[in-house]
Amino acid sequence: MILAEERRQVVEYASELADLTPGRTGNLSVRDGRDGDAFAITPTGVPYDSFDASDVPVVGVDGEQRDGAMKPSSEVPMHASIYEREDVGAIVHTHSPWSTALAVAREELPPIHYMIVAVGKRVPVAEYAPYGTDELAANIVQAMDEADATASLIENHGLVVTAADLETALENTVHVESLARLYLQTRAAGLEPATLSDEQLETVLEQFESYGQ
């Protein structure tokens, strides 16, 4: 079975995706290495707990399915385009409520908390296009490139987060969703959220280089 480990990860982490997005509306993928030409992705239109590794579709960066008993997510063009970025090893796409609230307001997430540096200095908003299209994929890649970010909101749609591996991508999705909630709750209380300066964010980035074990 090709990409056996990557397909196993899709099955393993699908439950975390289910916790972040309503129904069957999200998707995730993991690549065959940082420069691999294929990725494993969640199948389309099925509950996240109803498939095993052999069902998980394997798709080339050219968008063609190479293996797997089930059809891949309709967002294959998005994933394939994002994998043109060399720093991306995994992608998570959700319609998580707080991030999606910002997306439907077409407002980016500003640096209200230092944890935003997990995905950049802000989370931009990509221009709307129909889901599953090359146009949407191009809009997302452009938004992340212009903001030098590893995540992007999508107008009237949801959130995309990228990382070197699937565990980190999911963790950072949680970070963005938490910050979106904090931002909107602060505004709902009638307060104006303060933002961190570029200099303050740079200090956090330097501190993060030695964070952890």
Query: Which residues are catalytically annotated?
Result: 75
CA dihedral sign of residues 26, 31, 35, 36? negative
Token pair, residue 168, equals 């980190």
The torsion angle over the Cα atoms of residues 35, 155, 25 and 41, rounded to 10 degrees, is -10
What are the tokens at 145? 């490139």
Residues 6+ apart with CB under 8 A from 128: 136, 139, 154, 155, 156, 157
What is the token pair recorded at 153? Answer: 């909101």
Strand partners, 67: 58
Determine contact, residues 65/58, Cβ cutoff 8 Å. Answer: yes
